[in-house]
Amino acid sequence: MSILEAKHIDKYFKKPVLFHVLKDINFSIKKGEFVSIMGKSGCGKSTLLYILSTMDTDYEGELWLNDELITGKSREFLSYVRNKHIGFVFQFHYLLPEFSVLENVMLPAKKLAEKSLKAIEQDALEKLSILNIEHLAKKRAARISGGEKQRVAIARALINNPSIIMGDEPTGNLDSHNAKNVFDIFKKLSQTNDLSLLVVTHDEDFANKTDRIIQMEDGKILS
Ligand SMILES: Nc1ncnc2c1ncn2[C@@H]1O[C@H](COP(=O)(O)OP(=O)(O)OP(=O)(O)O)[C@@H](O)[C@H]1O
């Protein structure tokens, strides 16, 4: 079963001049697959991820998530889909510094509002324990290290049990030790939890260890 499928995606930027940035993008990601996207700066990786994450709706072609057509759906629906089915991990973690680690992880589940606070707290503690950082639960996010912050960001991405995690340079801000930790966590999530992962990266070591590399050049997929 495909978790994510892009069919004939084209995108144009209209200003300052008409620019065909994505050209007939086609690929799919299976359940439990760990895929990386690589390519030179400016080839369109972030633009593509923005579309795949349902944030950008101004494109041609079709986006499918869990065998459901996402293209053309309302803003409210897309916001729900993002929160429920997609977990995000960025280069910068975007944690709320004054909130505790636990509160940060709970936030996307509170927004979804499908469970009681008690149940959300239990889920958040479980995610923290998967990432071996349960002991940080009560600490303020501002008071933990960069590597720990990225683990908290991963726990937060997992809180609503998404179908797929999307990462934009998730190891871009980490030293090699912490980058390897993040890779190992992602690998384990794909193998033991059957979670799909799609990660844009410039890190060749990281990409070479993923199940598949999607290579981009000038807005096209090469392989
Ligand atoms: N809002 C925009 N309007 C016009 N052109 C844009 C806009 N955003 C990006 N571009 C251009 O589209 C191209 C692709 O940009 P994009 O950010 O997707 O590349 P990228 O592969 O993610 O690069 P990097 O690896 O540096 O992050 C670039 O030439 C960029 O200058």
Query: Which one of 21, 43, 52, 59 would you pick to mutate in the ligand 1 pocket, going by the greatest count of ligand atoms within 8 A of its CB?
Result: 21
Q: Which two tokens stand for residue 59?
A: 């494109």
Instruction: Tell me the residue ranges of DSSP E strands in the chain.
Output: 2-13, 19-30, 34-39, 60-65, 68-69, 86-90, 164-168, 196-200, 212-217, 220-221
The per-residue pLDDT for 70 is 97
Q: Give the residue with greater pLDDT, 90 vs 223.
A: 90
Residue 223 has pLDDT above 80, yes or no: no
Task: Give the ipTM of the model, two decimals please.
Answer: 0.97
The per-residue pLDDT for 92 is 80
Q: How far apart are CA 123 and CA 66, in angstroms?
A: 23
Provide mean pLDDT across the span 116-123: 97
pLDDT in tens, 24-33: 999 999 999 9
pLDDT in tens, 163-217: 999 999 999 888 898 889 999 999 999 998 889 999 999 999 999 999 999 999 9
The per-residue pLDDT for 11 is 98
Provide mean pLDDT across the span 1-11: 95
pLDDT in tens, 52-107: 999 999 999 999 999 999 999 999 999 999 999 999 998 887 899 999 999 999 99
Which residue has a Cα nearest atom 3 of ligand 1?
A: 13
The full set of domains in the chain, from first to last, is 32-60+68-221 (3.40.50.300)
Q: How far apart are CA 96 and CA 132, in angstroms?
A: 20
Measured in angstroms, how far is the CA atom of residue 44 from the centroid of ligand 1? 6
Please indicate whether residue 11, judged by its CB atom, sits closer than 6 Å to ligand 1. Answer: no
The per-residue pLDDT for 94 is 87
Please indicate whether residue 43, judged by its CB atom, sits closer than 6 Å to ligand 1. Answer: yes
